[in-house]
Chains A and B, each alone.
Chain A
Amino acid sequence: MNGLSNEMKRRFSWFLAAWLVPVLALFALAQPAGAEAQPPQPTPPDDEVNAIASQLYCPVCENIPLDVCPTQACIEWRELIREKLAAGWSGEQIEEYFVEQYGDRVLAEPPRRGLNWLVYVLPPLLILAGAGVLVYVLRSMRLRAAIPSSAAMPPIPKTSNDPFVQRLEEEVRRREME
């Protein structure tokens, strides 16, 4: 009786081992990679969430930064940022995620690609061109001011004794000098 009981115990032990080993192995494999490397992080504070939200715009409201947007949708997006931060995402990764989900319009600054480059290139170019025009106009004004007035006109050579013709020529020269 006792021998039979020992045999049963031995079989039961083998049975347990045969089942437990693969089950435990499967359980270990099912754990996400790096789960030990990233312990659960504390809930990120509002300041940290808002620092990222301020760099993003509400996808459905016009021109309202996400950190000050009062709508229910924006509250959910701020919660999403909090969840991503708690999961260890960086601000850059979160911004990329938002762009992937809702498009470039959520960014406070247009991404530097395609026609968006005009936003960055045109203003400095226009300022430079404006400065050039200003310098040119000022220089022209200075040169005009330096031109002598009619009082300093050169003497009029006498080409005719007719006083009318002389007056006419003098008038023409003066107008040419102006």
Chain B
Amino acid sequence: MNETGRQPKAVSAWMYVLAFGTLLAFLALVGWSLFRRQQGAVEVGKPAPAFTLTSFDGQVIDSAALAGRVVVVHFWASWCEPCENEAVLMEAAWQAYREGGEVVFLGVDYSDTEKKALEFIRRFGVTYPNGADLRTTISQAYHISGVPETYFIDRDGLLAYRQIGPFLSTGEIRAVVDILLSQ
């Protein structure tokens, strides 16, 4: 017994459990968040993320409904300079396949204003469906690192090829599509 008549209380076990539990939960949350952020691009050969795109002219396109066709998903923005030349190449490639009906081109406008996007589409004469990536859900699903990026989905819905950065010729685009059509 000391002068004050009190002894320092031992820290109870539940306090240790609570403190360490909170710390672990917090670390797990931070780890999970970092893991999600650091996840790389979608792997080639794996199923391509499904998405719904509402085009600027109001057409609702469900990627899942495009199974059996080769799908070219092109991420672009009006403020992206390399996208300008590539828009012409994409349109030329699209014109080569549009009659066949076996290939679908979709333009996903990333973080843009609708006004500028429509100006861009008119300026480069793009005719395949284009729509805004609302809330950036599609670009997040594909983990894009910027624009332009293009993803090629085969007839089975698997990601067959991805192009980070712009294509430099229509021939490059068609080469990829032709391989997928021949499979």
Chain A interface residues (CB < 8 Å from chain B):
59-60, 71-73, 76-77, 80, 99-105, 115, 118, 122, 129, 136, 139-140, 143-144, 146-148
Complex interface: chain B residues within 8 A of A104 (CB): 135
In the assembled complex, how far is the CB of residue B118 from the closest CB belonging to chain A, in whole angstroms? 13
- Known: A76-B79, A76-B113. Is A146-B4 also a contact (CB below 8 A)? yes
Of the four ranges (under 10, 10 to 19, 20 to 34, 35 or more), the interface on chain B belongs to 20 to 34
Q: Are B111 and A73 in contact (CB under 8 A)?
A: yes
- Known: A59-B111, A101-B134, A102-B136. Is A143-B6 also a contact (CB below 8 A)? yes
Complex interface: chain A residues within 8 A of B140 (CB): 103
Among B2, B112, B115, the residue within 8 A (CB) of A148 is B2
A122 to B29, CA, bound (A): 12
19 contacts between A and B (CB under 8 A): A60-B111, A71-B79, A73-B77, A73-B79, A76-B79, A76-B116, A77-B113, A99-B135, A101-B132, A101-B135, A102-B136, A103-B137, A104-B135, A129-B22, A143-B2, A143-B4, A143-B8, A146-B3, A146-B4
Among A59, A102, A129, A148, the residue within 8 A (CB) of B3 is A148
- Known: A73-B77, A146-B4. Is A80-B136 also a contact (CB below 8 A)? no
Q: Are B8 and A140 in contact (CB under 8 A)?
A: yes
Instruction: Report if B38 contacts A (CB, 8 A).
Output: no
Complex interface: chain A residues within 8 A of B4 (CB): 143, 146
Residue of B112, B132, B140 most packed against chain A (CB within 10 A): B112
Q: Are A144 and B8 in contact (CB under 8 A)?
A: yes
A41 to B84, CA, bound (A): 35
In the assembled complex, how far is the CB of residue A103 from the closest CB belonging to chain B, in whole angstroms? 4
